[in-house]
Structure 1
Amino acid sequence: MAETKQKAGGMFSAVERWIAGRYLRARRQEGFISVIAGFSFLGITLGVATLLVSLAVFNGFQRDLLSRVLGFQGHLMVFSPNGPFVPPADDMRRLSALPGMAGVMPAIDGQGLLSIRDYAGGVLVKALNAADIARRPAFAGSLKQGTLPAGDGVAIGAKLAERGGIKLGDRITLLSPRIGTEGAPRSRSFPVVGILALGVSEFDATLVLMDLPAAQSFFELGETITTLELMLDDPAKAPGLHPAVSVSLSEPLLAQDWQQVNGAFFSVIETQRNVVTLILAMIVIVAAFNIISGMIMMVQDKGREIAILRTMGAGRGMVLRIFLLSGASIGIAGTAAGVALGVLASHHVEDVRQLVQAVTGTDPFNADIYYLSTLPSWTDPVQVALVALSSVALSFVATLYPSWRAARLDPVEALRYE
């Protein structure tokens, strides 16, 4: 038999594909080889799927947390090293005129002690002008009950309201860390007009949001503020706009972008993602080693058939392609199944979390530990493509040595002991 000619536009001929398929569908007495191939397929499927789900969860966690944190604190923050300050009008005009600037918002960030009935706890007090609060999606889009704060009214986090048994219309007492004129901490009563579900555990458990003039009066700051929050059309442009913001400021005012403020925190998330990715990638590598062992056993088992093919005129190239196709088919099929399973699971990861919680009675994603109240996920198409291509390439490499051994098999030696 002359070596089969390759079909135009295809790497493998129909005969090679047919023989490779027969080798994968082992007979009953060769079932062990089929079992190894099945485990290789399953290993690649689970490895790829688990890797994609993990990447999607890390992506979603970082993306969701970043959007919520930036919505709470601003994209660039202007402050004075000397403490509270009055923002110069010229600085405000220059900042507002910068390209990509969506808002320049005076703010106060402080701490206090909230008490109501038999509950008391520390809180974070944040204040903006009522109009600016309404413009911030992080606050306007998180309103669970009531209205946004204006005048003397305040809005509090949903978890804080739950812990303190606080309802709309209740009056809370805030104690300021500043010492008043009488030598005691200043206290003031505020009506609760809104309850916010921000989706970040720390904020939901400690936030008291109020109108800027009310906070200035409570903290006895007069016309001063603690921070000037700059909101951009695109938060990613904050580092690039940082130099222009700094040039626009009068001394001694300074500016920080969100990456400087939160850099260490998000760096930890990135490091954890890289470590988990490396660990889970080992599953795919182990599955590739299974392909190597399975293919070597197949070569040994099919020695007689290989010898017959060679004596009928099949060249080494044809034998090489047959075994390459057999091994690569396992990797391609496993990768395709893993991608489908991984993408599907990534879109329902929160449903899985709720199911696990309902069955076990424990929450595997505790909001007090992981900041967010739900398990987010976001599938990056580029990452999916990279994982799939890497898995297929690894599977192909794993078939090279066994295929080379098959092609180098001496038909005389193979048939001598048959």
Structure 2
Amino acid sequence: MPGHSRGTKAFSRFEWMIAGRYLRARRKEAFISVIASLTMVGVAIGVATLIVVMSVMNGFRAELLTKILGLNGHFTAYPIEEKFTDYQETIDALQQVDGVKFAVYFVEGQVLASGAGQSTGVTVRGMDEENIKKLDLLYNGAGQGGFDSWDNSKGVAIGYRLAQTLGVGLGDSVTIINPDGAKTPFGTTPQIRSYKVSVIFNLGMVEFDSYFMYMPLQEAQEYFKLYEDVLKPGQKPLDPMATDAEIDAAYDRVYRASAAEIFIDNPDDVTAMRAKLQSDFSTRPLVLTDWQQRNETFFSALQVERVVMFTILSMIILVAAFNIISSLIMLVKDKSSDIAVLRTMGATRGSIMRIFSITGTAIGVIGTLSGLVMGLIIAANAESLRASVSNFLGVTIFPPEVFFLSSLPSKTDPTEVTVVVCLALGLSFLATLYPAWRAAQYDPVEALRYE
């Protein structure tokens, strides 16, 4: 056997055999075996926790991006210098720019909405059916009713949470109040109108489901008075007593939009696309704001939180690595006579180091692989586990009012999983070095003196 320990292989069969014996518990070594098992469990819990938490945070970010960019464009284009009456020509030109997937125009305003005794502030967005069909998240999110024949519906679409707040259902009326109404000699009178609820949508994001209301484009333009009556060529101004028919015959009503949303092929390529849009699009001057600017603080906070959580949870693995050190030191102390016998039989210091390195690393490897499997299983079933625990405890875990989303998303990143596994294996190996070195320093004469 000593000859094996001096072999040319990095880890000889003899060393693996001795390390395996040390890993298997005997009756008199039960305490050391329990410590090693608990250390293994600690490594597994640390790895699983890191994988689950990072997967949930990745899923949270990806889901938020999908929801936010499913309704709001990667760029929002605001007109300058002139009123936005050429909105159709503008988005037609924008969609010709290479890298632009599509563009939509819209009307937007803030109002007070009231239903069955309840009132709340909402954002009204006016869009026509053609543009709504471009937004898959909204078009496919209609839980009750639908957007077919939307332009002629004269109704509104609201989120299901807003419907609950207002106490209304499909077919009920919602009254909206705009303080910037008609101008009179006595001041401004609020604009008050009632619309039937023709669509109730569920987008899975609290902000959209609670505070957004959609109207047909022309209804919204009329409501917010985003139009001008322009005298037709050859017509003379009419007197104030003219009838509506005379006004319609003499004037053309020119509508305008509030802004346009631009959706690009690669949402992360906003810097290059901004330069491209500014150079290739020359139809009219526009001010561009991208989604990263609009959500800079929010997503920066998410990124900082990911780094901090990774650092903090890595401490669990570090603590488990220290447990490997303590359990190996106890094992070395217990096996001092065995080490002395091996040394007298010809085992080298390097062979003794490798034996205890294999023993400690095996604890880390088994714990890491167990944690990997457990973490991947939990991450893949995060939402069902959340729902089960919530039902069992009778409390809402991750309430959507706080976390924006109605479900717990999870997205496992193979690169991050690899980093976690390598971190655990690296710390486990480093933890074996000092105890293994101490074992190799044992003097066989001193160790056997009192045997």
Scaled by the length of structure 1, what TM-score is found? 0.95
Please report how far the alpha carbon of residue 187 of structure 1 lies from its aligned counterpart in structure 2 after TM superposition: 1.7
Deviations 1:63-103 (A, max 9, x none): 00111001111111111467963346775454222112111
Please say if residues 323 and 403 of structure 1, whose CA atoms lie closer than 8 Å, have aligned partners that are also in contact: yes
2:183 is paired with a residue whose SS is: coil
Please report how far the alpha carbon of residue 344 of structure 1 lies from its aligned counterpart in structure 2 after TM superposition: 0.3
Matched, 1:271 2:304: yes
Please report how far the alpha carbon of residue 239 of structure 1 lies from its aligned counterpart in structure 2 after TM superposition: 2.9
Please report how far the alpha carbon of residue 117 of structure 1 lies from its aligned counterpart in structure 2 after TM superposition: 3.2
Please report how far the alpha carbon of residue 123 of structure 1 lies from its aligned counterpart in structure 2 after TM superposition: 1.0
- Structure 1 runs of 4+ aligned residues shifted over 4 Å read 5-8, 81-84, 87-91, 249-252
Please say if residues 80 and 254 of structure 1, whose CA atoms lie closer than 8 Å, have aligned partners that are also in contact: yes
What residue is the counterpart of 1:181 in the other structure?
183
Question: Cα gap change, 1:89/1:118 in structure 2, threshold over 3 Å: closer, same or farther?
Answer: closer
Matched, 1:120 2:137: no
Matched, 1:254 2:287: yes
2:267 is aligned, of 235, 239, 242, to 235
What residue is the counterpart of 2:103 in the other structure?
104
**Equivalent-residue separation in structure 2 for 1:308 and 1:73 (angstroms):** 74
Question: Cα gap change, 1:6/1:102 in structure 2, threshold over 3 Å: closer, same or farther?
Answer: farther
Structure 2 runs not aligned, ≥5 long: 228-254
What residue is the counterpart of 1:337 in the other structure?
370
Question: Cα gap change, 1:91/1:144 in structure 2, threshold over 3 Å: closer, same or farther?
Answer: closer
Deviations 1:30-78 (A, max 9, x none): 2221121111101100011011110011001100011100111111111
What residue is the counterpart of 1:3 in the other structure?
3
**Equivalent-residue separation in structure 2 for 1:260 and 1:87 (angstroms):** 26
Alignment of 1:263-412 (within 5 A): 263-412=296-445
Please say if residues 90 and 284 of structure 2, whose CA atoms lie closer than 8 Å, have aligned partners that are also in contact: no
2:151 is paired with a residue whose SS is: coil
**Equivalent-residue separation in structure 1 for 2:81 and 2:396 (angstroms):** 45
Structure 1 runs not aligned, ≥5 long: none
**Equivalent-residue separation in structure 2 for 1:297 and 1:229 (angstroms):** 66
Please say if residues 5 and 15 of structure 2, whose CA atoms lie closer than 8 Å, have aligned partners that are also in contact: no
Question: Cα gap change, 1:89/1:128 in structure 2, threshold over 3 Å: closer, same or farther?
Answer: closer
Deviations 1:343-365 (A, max 9, x none): 10011111221122112221121
**Equivalent-residue separation in structure 2 for 1:296 and 1:163 (angstroms):** 63
What residue is the counterpart of 1:215 in the other structure?
220
Scaled by the length of structure 2, what TM-score is found? 0.88
Q: Which amino acid aligns with 1:153?
A: G
Please report how far the alpha carbon of residue 200 of structure 1 lies from its aligned counterpart in structure 2 after TM superposition: 0.6
Please report how far the alpha carbon of residue 208 of structure 1 lies from its aligned counterpart in structure 2 after TM superposition: 0.6
Question: Cα gap change, 1:163/1:294 in structure 2, threshold over 3 Å: closer, same or farther?
Answer: same
Aligned residues: 417
2:208 is aligned, of 191, 195, 203, to 203
1:107 is paired with a residue whose SS is: strand
Moved more, 403-412 or 58-67: 403-412
Q: Which amino acid aligns with 2:156?
A: V
- Please identify the structure whose Cα radius of gyration is greater: 2
Please say if residues 246 and 254 of structure 1, whose CA atoms lie closer than 8 Å, have aligned partners that are also in contact: no
Please say if residues 6 and 347 of structure 2, whose CA atoms lie closer than 8 Å, have aligned partners that are also in contact: no
1:409 is paired with a residue whose SS is: coil
Moved more, 248-257 or 261-270: 248-257
